[in-house]
């Protein structure tokens, strides 16, 4: 591993200042993704600025009736928080579906959102990859893409975003609080992560030096009836082949409102807006759930070895909608 300096920032402003005055500096959360990438030579920072004490790790009710989650909150604390479990069960379930207990104890909310793709070519610097070496090509299109994207991909990159937590946050419509060189701002989810287009090296809309300080959940009372379901190749320690986050608001057998996002299918946590629109005002029946899922997935463009994800995503979504409705 390339030698690096270690620094610890005491607050958001000094973290942002530390990154802007030093070239090749990166923020360090729990290090569970970044340090792996440094070992592989994919990330080669000269300086690590530890931000686990620069932002809050508190999880508290926000002024708008939602929940404010400090970026330094550990994944295990988020999943165990009683308000998260009661009011946003899909979020607790999504976090618990990821990694292992030890990793969740280390991983932070800010770092989880910005973890990088698990595409095997991206993690191997001996191979071409437009994401780690722009312009070098995308061997995954012709090679191993079984677990890569079926929707929203480009000729430059077919990677998927790996975070389970981000799928639940996209469904819930969370806001990401950011401190940058120009001051503070919020970025909506979905909207933090970007489709690859012809710049797959950029995973998000964040600018260099931007620090995630918190994630805010809206009040969304009907999220108490929500669920996260993840399909993976092994029962634990495996990333999603396909995942689904759903919150359902029902009245007299009719869908009053809903929030749906899919994971493991795109370069972003995929908010299923077409399915949501189709379901609002529709009877909560298996036929309507299937119709909505088919509508959402009609835009899928799978590659030869991942076409199975289209019916898989549809079936999981229909199943979870049915479970929440019953």
Q: Answer yes or no whether residue 216 interacts with ligand FAD by CB under 6 A.
A: no
Q: Which stretch binds ligand FAD (CB under 6 A): 96-104, 123-131, 296-304, 317-325?
A: 96-104
Q: Answer yes or no whether residue 47 interacts with ligand FAD by CB under 6 A.
A: no
Q: Answer yes or no whether residue 147 interacts with ligand FAD by CB under 6 A.
A: no
- Which of ligand SF4, ligand FAD, none does residue 27 bind to, with CB < 5 to 8 Å depending on kind? ligand FAD
**Residues 161-200: x/- map of binding to ligand FAD (CB under 6 A)?**
-xxxx-----------------------------------
In angstroms, give the least distance from the CB of 138 to ligand SF4.
3
Give buried/exposed letters for 296-321 (b at 16+ CB in 10 A, else e).
bbeebebbeebeebbebbbebbbbbb
CB nearer ligand FAD, residue 40 or residue 195: 40
Contacts of 246 (CB under 8 A, 6+ apart): 90, 171, 226, 227, 258, 259, 260, 317, 320, 321, 324
Q: Scan for tokens 């899909």, then name that residue.
A: 90
- Which of ligand SF4, ligand FAD, none does residue 170 bind to, with CB < 5 to 8 Å depending on kind? none
Task: Name the nearest CA neighbour of 60 among 84, 42, 36.
Answer: 84
Q: Which two tokens stand for residue 226?
A: 């929500």
- Which of ligand FAD, ligand SF4, none does residue 84 bind to, with CB < 5 to 8 Å depending on kind? none
Angle at 138 between CA 134 and CA 140, to 5 degrees: 145
Task: Name the nearest CA neighbour of 177 among 110, 125, 86, 244.
Answer: 110
Q: Answer yes or no whether residue 121 interacts with ligand FAD by CB under 6 A.
A: no
Among residues 28, 96, 157, 268, the one that binds ligand FAD under rule CB under 6 A: 28
Task: Name the nearest CA neighbour of 312 among 231, 217, 196.
Answer: 231
- Which of ligand FAD, ligand SF4, none does residue 130 bind to, with CB < 5 to 8 Å depending on kind? ligand SF4
Measure Cα distances from 272 to 106, 245, 316 in Å: 31, 10, 13
- Region at 204 (left for phi over 0; alpha for psi -120 to 50; beta for the rest): beta
Which positions lie near ligand SF4, rule CB under 6 A? 117, 119, 121-122, 129-131, 138-140, 148, 157-159, 200
Q: Which stretch binds ligand FAD (CB under 6 A): 99-107, 282-290, 294-302, 303-311?
A: 99-107
- Which of ligand SF4, ligand FAD, none does residue 237 bind to, with CB < 5 to 8 Å depending on kind? ligand FAD
Q: In sequence order, which ranges of the chain are alpha helices (DSSP H)?
A: 12-21, 34-40, 75-80, 82-87, 89-96, 101-106, 109-113, 164-172, 273-279, 286-297, 309-325
CB nearer ligand FAD, residue 114 or residue 275: 114
Point out which residues bind ligand FAD (CB under 6 A).
26-34, 36, 51, 55, 71, 75, 98-99, 103, 106-108, 110-112, 114-115, 162-165, 211-212, 237, 239
């Amino acid at each position: 591993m390339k030698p690096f300096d270690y620094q610890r920032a005491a607050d958001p402003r000094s973290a942002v200042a530390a990154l802007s005055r030093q070239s090749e500096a990166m923020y360090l959360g729990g290090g569970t993704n970044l340090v792996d990438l440094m070992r592989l030579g994919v990330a080669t920072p000269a300086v690590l600025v530890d931000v686990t004490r620069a932002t809050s790790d508190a999880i508290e009710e926000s002024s708008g009736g939602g929940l404010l989650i400090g970026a330094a909150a550990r994944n295990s604390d988020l999943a165990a928080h009683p308000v998260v479990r009661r009011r946003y069960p899909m979020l607790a379930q999504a976090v618990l579906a990821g990694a292992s207990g030890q990793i969740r104890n280390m991983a932070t909310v800010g770092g989880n959102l910005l973890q990088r793709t698990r595409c095997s070519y991206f993690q191997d610097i001996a191979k071409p990859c437009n994401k780690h070496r722009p312009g070098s090509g995308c061997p995954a299109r012709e090679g191993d893409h079984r677990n890569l994207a079926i929707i929203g991909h480009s000729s430059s990159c077919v990677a998927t975003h790996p975070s389970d937590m981000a799928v639940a946050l996209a469904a819930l419509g969370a806001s990401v609080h950011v401190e940058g060189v120009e001051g503070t701002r919020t970025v909506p989810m979905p909207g933090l992560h970007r489709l690859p287009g012809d710049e797959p090296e950029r995973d998000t809309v964040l600018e260099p030096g931007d620090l995630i300080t918190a994630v805010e959940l809206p009040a969304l009372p009907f999220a108490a009836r929500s669920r996260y379901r993840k399909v993976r190749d092994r029962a634990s320690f495996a990333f999603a082949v396909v995942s689904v986050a759903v919150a359902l608001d029902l009245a007299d057998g009719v869908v009053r409102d809903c929030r749906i996002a899919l994971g493991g299918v795109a370069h972003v946590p995929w908010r299923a807006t077409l399915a949501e629109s189709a379901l609002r005002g529709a009877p909560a029946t298996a036929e309507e759930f299937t119709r909505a899922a088919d509508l959402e997935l009609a835009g899928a463009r799978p590659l030869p070895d991942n076409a199975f994800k289209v019916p898989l995503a549809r079936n999981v979504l229909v199943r979870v909608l049915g479970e929440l409705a019953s």
